[in-house]
């Protein structure tokens, strides 16, 4: 049994954490209740019925369930319309679909949150030589770096005053970087400033890992397009595939035509009998996000108490996504901790994690991902590039109890190897 394998001192420290973290957990519970109220209300307003789970195959004509689901997603994200489809296979796919629909040859897009995720750089054309990258198809790319984990307001405003930029991209989460994720307060502020000088530019937010962590979403503060994956927060650990694009109705129409074809747009697209899991995943999403956040807080607290000070966010810092970074100082610590997470996964617990190359990433990676849905990051997973300072990126956790067991065994594994 797992509890019997856990170091007794770590188990005692875990029990003490419940007292120390009580107020933080209560704040997370409050956000969960707020967002649960919103989502339940939208289900009721849209009269979701059992018939909305019907399997629609072939072309996917007249799927009322799909239409209701997309109206609910739009409401949750503070937007006019949404595209929620199993044909969108990942967050990267959703981002590429959106950017390639909205940016054409000769257009300029700017990332105002610095360099994007490693896995997006080849899609944009920053690295690699794909003939299908945005740059290869004539889209110009610029980026403005963050300053002290915040937007460089002056540089952004001065650039956008020129009014020759088609799209501004904001990455809410940190990705594989050491910066903090961007809070909704910061995103709201910069969107307001952009609108004061430029009404035409499209503002797109990569919302991956951030949904339902706060009480508002990017659409509520003026983002034109919001993009994400159903294998993260809004899938609730139940959706087995899929992604979403939400935003202004005219822009969603353009993205839908890119997904299907001109003249078809949102009207077609079989649901592969996934409507039930998409509805249920969204319904459970506030609870899954709550558990993920508590697991992250618990992890940060435990590492800090054990003397690992370079964790981000720290256990008592505000959060705007579910990602927790743990700087583990040595390659051995990184591998041992990640192996501990894999060993306590419900699926593939017997797999031995070792550093290995991974497509789309520039370094060898270690990855613990024993999830019911392959690649799901709302379920507890952890991965890292095997380079100094050996920072692990961890996210997810469908319940705090399962999260605690995994973290405690990972710490035990690391501690015993050190001893």
For residue 70, give the nearest of 48, 92, 38, 91 by alpha carbon. 48
Reported as a single tens digit per residue, the pLDDT across 138-185 is 999 999 999 999 999 999 999 999 999 999 999 999 977 889 999 999
pTM: 0.95
Reported as a single tens digit per residue, the pLDDT across 365-406 is 999 989 999 989 999 999 998 999 999 999 999 999 999 999
Residue limits of CATH 3.90.1150.60 in the chain? 2-35+286-418
pLDDT at 412 > cutoff 70: yes
Query: Model confidence at 362, in pLDDT bands (50, 70, 90)?
Result: confident
The whole-number pLDDT of residue 418 equals 60
Q: What is the mean pLDDT of the chain?
A: 95
Q: Is the peptide bond before 364 cis (omega within 30 degrees of 0)?
A: no
Q: Which CATH number fits domain 2-35+286-418: 3.20.20.370, 3.40.640.10, 3.90.1150.60, 3.30.43.10?
A: 3.90.1150.60
Reported as a single tens digit per residue, the pLDDT across 236-250 is 999 999 999 999 999
Query: Model confidence at 360, in pLDDT bands (50, 70, 90)?
Result: low
Weakest mean pLDDT among 25-34, 93-102, 263-272, 351-360: 351-360
Topology adopted by domain 49-282: 3.40.640
Residue limits of CATH 3.40.640.10 in the chain? 49-282
């Amino acid at each position: 049994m797992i509890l019997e394998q856990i170091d007794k001192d770590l188990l005692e420290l875990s029990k003490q954490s419940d007292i120390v973290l009580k107020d933080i957990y209560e704040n997370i519970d409050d956000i969960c209740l707020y967002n649960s109220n919103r989502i339940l209300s939208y289900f009721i307003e849209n009269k979701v019925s059992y018939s909305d789970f019907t399997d629609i195959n072939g072309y996917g004509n007249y799927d009322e369930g799909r239409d209701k689901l997309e109206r609910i997603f739009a409401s949750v994200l503070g937007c006019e319309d949404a595209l929620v489809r199993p044909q969108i296979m990942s967050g990267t796919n959703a981002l590429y679909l959106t950017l390639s629909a909205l940016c054409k040859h000769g257009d300029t897009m700017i990332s105002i949150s610095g360099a994007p995720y490693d896995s997006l750089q080849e899609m944009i054309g920053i690295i690699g030589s794909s003939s299908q990258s945005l740059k290869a198809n004539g889209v110009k790319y610029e980026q403005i770096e963050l300053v002290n984990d915040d937007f460089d307001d002056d540089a952004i405003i001065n650039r956008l005053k020129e009014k020759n930029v088609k799209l501004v991209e904001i990455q809410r989460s940190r990705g594989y970087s050491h910066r903090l994720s961007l809070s909704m307060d910061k995103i709201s502020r910069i969107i307001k400033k952009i609108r004061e000088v430029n009404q035409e530019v499209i503002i797109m937010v990569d919302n991956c890992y951030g949904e339902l962590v706060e009480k508002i979403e990017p659409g509520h503060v003026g983002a034109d397009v919001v993009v994400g994956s159903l294998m993260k927060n809004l899938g609730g650990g139940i959706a087995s595939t899929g992604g979403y694009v939400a935003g202004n109705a005219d822009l969603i129409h353009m993205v839908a035509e890119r997904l299907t074809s001109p003249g078809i747009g949102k009207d077609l697209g079989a649901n592969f009998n996934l409507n039930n899991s998409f509805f249920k995943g969204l319904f459970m999403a506030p609870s899954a996000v709550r558990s993920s956040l508590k697991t992250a807080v618990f992890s940060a607290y435990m590492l800090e108490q054990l003397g690992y000070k370079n964790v981000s966010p720290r256990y008592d810092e505000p959060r705007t996504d579910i990602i927790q970074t743990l700087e583990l100082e040595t390659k051995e610590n990184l591998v041992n901790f990640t192996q501990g997470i894999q060993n306590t996964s419900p699926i593939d617990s017997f797999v031995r994690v070792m550093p290995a190359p991974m497509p789309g990433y520039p370094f060898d990676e270690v990855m613990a991902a024993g999830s019911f849905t392959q690649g799901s990051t709302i379920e507890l997973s952890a991965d890292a590039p095997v380079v100094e300072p050996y920072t692990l990126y961890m996210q997810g956790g469908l319940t705090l109890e399962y999260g605690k067991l995994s973290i405690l065994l990972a710490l035990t594994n690391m501690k015993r190897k050190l001893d």
